[in-house]
Amino acid sequence: MIDIAGIKLFCGECANVMRNELADESIDLVVTSPPYDCYSDDTEILTKTGWKLIRDISLGEKVMTLNPHTKEIYFQPTINVYNYMFKGELLHFNNEDIDLLVTKNHNMFITDKYANPCLDRKSYLKRDFNKYSFLRKAEDINTTGYIPYKGYKWNGENKDIFVLPKVECIYNKQFKVFEKKKISMLYWVRFLGIYLSEGSCRNTKNKSKKIKSYEISIKQKNIETIYLIRNILKNLPFDFKENINMGITIFSITDRQLWNYLYQLGNSFEKYIPGDIKNLNVRYLKELIFYMMLGDGTKRKNFKYSIDGFLNYKSVSRKLKNDLQECLLKIGKLSCESKNNYISNKQYSFIKYYSINKNYEKYVGNVVCVKVPEHNIICVRRNGKVMFSGNSLRDYRGYTFELGPIAFELTRVLKPGGVLVWVIGDEVINKSESGTSFRHALFFKDACGLNLHDTMIYEKNGAAFPATRTSNRYTQIFEYVFIFSKGPPKTAHLICDKKNTWAGHRTWGQRSWRNKDGTMIPTSNKPIAEYSVRNNIWKYNNGFLQGSRDKKTFSHPATFPDKLAEDHIITWSNEGDVVLDPLMGSGTTGVMAKLNGRDFIGIEISDEYFELAKRRLKIKEHENIKLREEILGI
């Protein structure tokens, strides 16, 4: 904590600092803006229904996440989805196993070679790893550290029986009912694995009898594999035939009930693994993958009868390859798709960061991200390469921004009649506004009980991404400024700087007021003032050295103009009042509060930005005039 001449600065999480350091009803005015800031928009994420582009994820949809302490993988619902325009440099991590294009402040998943948090310095003392983070900013990643390539733990469903669904149909010109069949799950996943690689469904018509034949066939020429297939079929409740044609053994089953189930899995270009099978436990998934690879996998030179005995897997079905990567993840392995469409099955346990190319690339387009309730380490894929990584949106220098605790603490510390100025821009999700700003406003109003005193607009003089003729939205050049108050505002010095065209003139005609009883009372015609009260749309210059003349301000990525902060401080507070900024950033609100004779309390969680604010705020009183000239350019 720093306490100098009416300025108090705290470095820490704002809700906790307010809870421990600030008394009830001790603040006259709050002026602040919540933080903003992922992946390029061609990045996919693993959902309950398979791989999807992050930009297509909907709120509440379940995505695959990781508990880094236990290495358990499980699905969590998304509690926020982000998609916004970005222009600048992204970091590209790329090698034969990894391909990720992220913002500089993106949280990368990183461990040491023992799968513990990767620390910057070695220590021989016993450490509680639960206190350390598995995440590190992309721009801070150096040659140390690892990405675990296997060892992930999936707790799937433990079902020992597969139930083949009941079928009612016309079969051989007769109505038939095929009741449910119970099949050993072990032999069923083995059969399904070999069918997905080597099997097919035929629906042929007998010309003489004019009836359809519902036949499932599996072809194989490897003697050892033929023996395994025969053993599987003997343990299934279906009759099968075995024929040899030109050295290839053909197993055929004619069964309408089985045909109905397998036919829906598609042809060679459309095959996929059913969702209930993908949700099984590791034991059954390993059996499924082994028998798939036994059909279409490439064996290693030192082949052994296990999944590790295969080098890769090839299929013409995009869905099947996607499902296989999901199943490999659930048995504990990451995977990648090579240029020749093979799904690799690599042996190593870790990917070393020093083996990954790290380059800055210019990028113009949308960046996307999601947030989940716990850990925020999600399973992503880009160009067929799967890995776990963190996120950065709504995180601030690695710290997550949570509205609820902050909003309640701000309400508690605000004096009766005090004002909260909340500057916020809306996010864009799936090319439409998300309404996040309105949810913030309604939370303060409904959950915290504050008055929504005014909804103002901060208009910018320019836009980073102007609309073009091919755009589907107009250029975005404003942010919302919500004015909340704890009861009626105790202070309101409205700024009068709107030039009146008819200043000095008197109004024409006789002005009057109407009484409740309907009678009219004449009033005098006063001269029109030179200036009148401005409206609630405030326009400011923004951008480098436009919103502020102080270059140090722009070391922070999300600033609002100095004059915006000053105008609100002048409007809603008096000299000697206490102004709070719980998300201080570069200290703009503090500098403006000091210049206008207010006491200031600032809270900042990031050490880097806390030091920046300190440098801006350690200014002697006699330097105020010079500072005002430098910062405001007056």
Is the predicted pLDDT of residue 42 greater than 80, yes or no?
Answer: yes
User: What is the structure's pLDDT at 113?
Assistant: 66
- Exposure on the CB side of residue 524, measured as CA atoms within 13 A: 3
DSSP H or E stretch at residue 324 = helix 318-330
Is the predicted pLDDT of residue 546 greater than 80, yes or no?
Answer: no
More confident residue, 311 or 502: 311
User: What is the structure's pLDDT at 143?
Assistant: 61
What pLDDT digit, counting tens, does each position of 219-229 carry?
A: 999 999 999 99
Is the predicted pLDDT of residue 440 greater than 90, yes or no?
Answer: no
Which residues of 68-130 form beta strands (DSSP E)?
72-77, 80-94, 99-102, 107-109
Confidence of residue 429 (pLDDT cuts 50, 70, 90): low
More confident residue, 252 or 6: 252
User: What is the structure's pLDDT at 398?
Assistant: 42
**pLDDT, average across residues 239-250:** 92
Furthest C-alpha separation in the chain: 112
Average pLDDT, whole number, for the chain? 82
Residue pair 108/141 in contact (Cβ under 8 Å)? The answer is yes
- The structure tokens listed for 115 are 């799968």
Confidence of residue 280 (pLDDT cuts 50, 70, 90): very high
User: What is the structure's pLDDT at 140?
Assistant: 72
β partners of residue 218: 199, 251
Question: Which residue type occupies 427?
Answer: E
β partners of residue 212: 205
Please name which of 302, 297, 373, 281 lies closest in space to residue 335, comparing C-alpha atoms.
Answer: 297
Question: What is the three-state SS of 452-467?
Answer: EEEEEEEEECCCCCCC
* Residue 628 CA, distance from chain mean position: 40
User: What is the structure's pLDDT at 209?
Assistant: 46
Is the predicted pLDDT of residue 128 greater than 50, yes or no?
Answer: no
Confidence of residue 465 (pLDDT cuts 50, 70, 90): low
Measured CA to CA, the distance from residue 278 to residue 407 in angstroms comes to 42
Percentage helix, strand, coil for the chain under 3-state DSSP, each rounded to 5? 25, 35, 40
Confidence of residue 132 (pLDDT cuts 50, 70, 90): very low
Measured CA to CA, the distance from residue 500 to residue 528 in angstroms comes to 8
Q: Which of 330-344, 367-381, 424-438, 451-465 has the lowest mean pLDDT?
A: 424-438
**pLDDT, average across residues 154-167:** 93
User: What is the structure's pLDDT at 106?
Assistant: 80
Confidence of residue 623 (pLDDT cuts 50, 70, 90): very low
Measured CA to CA, the distance from residue 579 to residue 486 in angstroms comes to 15
Q: In what order do the strands lie in the sheet with 199-206?
A: 199-206, 211-220, 248-254, 241-245
Measured CA to CA, the distance from residue 333 to residue 153 in angstroms comes to 10
| C-alpha dihedral sign at 130, 133, 135, 141 | negative
Confidence of residue 212 (pLDDT cuts 50, 70, 90): low
User: What is the structure's pLDDT at 180?
Assistant: 92
Is the predicted pLDDT of residue 547 greater than 50, yes or no?
Answer: no
Q: Which of 214-228, 296-310, 536-550 has the lowest mean pLDDT?
A: 536-550
Of all residues in the chain, the percent with pLDDT exceeding 90 is 40
Measured CA to CA, the distance from residue 634 to residue 497 in angstroms comes to 16
Q: Which string of DSSP letters, residue by residue, matches 256-272? A: HHHHHHHHTT-STTT--
Measured CA to CA, the distance from residue 98 to residue 334 in angstroms comes to 10
Burial (CB count <10 Å: 0-12, 13-18, 19+), residue 143: exposed
**Per-residue CA distances from 357 to 142, 388, 611 (Å):** 11, 17, 32
Measured CA to CA, the distance from residue 117 to residue 578 in angstroms comes to 42
What pLDDT digit, counting tens, does each position of 351-408 carry?
A: 777 678 888 888 888 788 887 878 778 999 999 999 999 865 444 444 456 677 888 9
Question: Which residue type occupies 156?
Answer: G
Is the predicted pLDDT of residue 425 greater than 90, yes or no?
Answer: no
Question: Which residue type occupies 332?
Answer: G
∠ CA 218-219-225 to the nearest 5 degrees?
95
More confident residue, 169 or 508: 169
Could you give the residue ranges of the DSSP H alpha helices within 214-354?
223-234, 256-263, 275-278, 282-296, 318-330
Phi-psi region of 295 (alpha: psi -120 to 50; beta: other; left: phi over 0): alpha
Domains along the chain with CATH numbers: 2-36+399-464+474-507+523-632 (3.40.50.150), 39-149+348-390 (2.170.16.10), 162-298 (3.10.28.10)
Question: Which residue type occupies 523?
Answer: T
User: What is the structure's pLDDT at 392?
Assistant: 53
Is the predicted pLDDT of residue 418 greater than 90, yes or no?
Answer: yes
Contacts of 504 (CB under 8 A, 6+ apart): 527, 528, 530
Is the predicted pLDDT of residue 241 greater than 80, yes or no?
Answer: yes
- The structure tokens listed for 332 are 């504990």
Is the predicted pLDDT of residue 298 greater than 50, yes or no?
Answer: yes
In this structure, the strands spanning 432-433 and 451-460 are unpaired
User: What is the structure's pLDDT at 141?
Assistant: 74
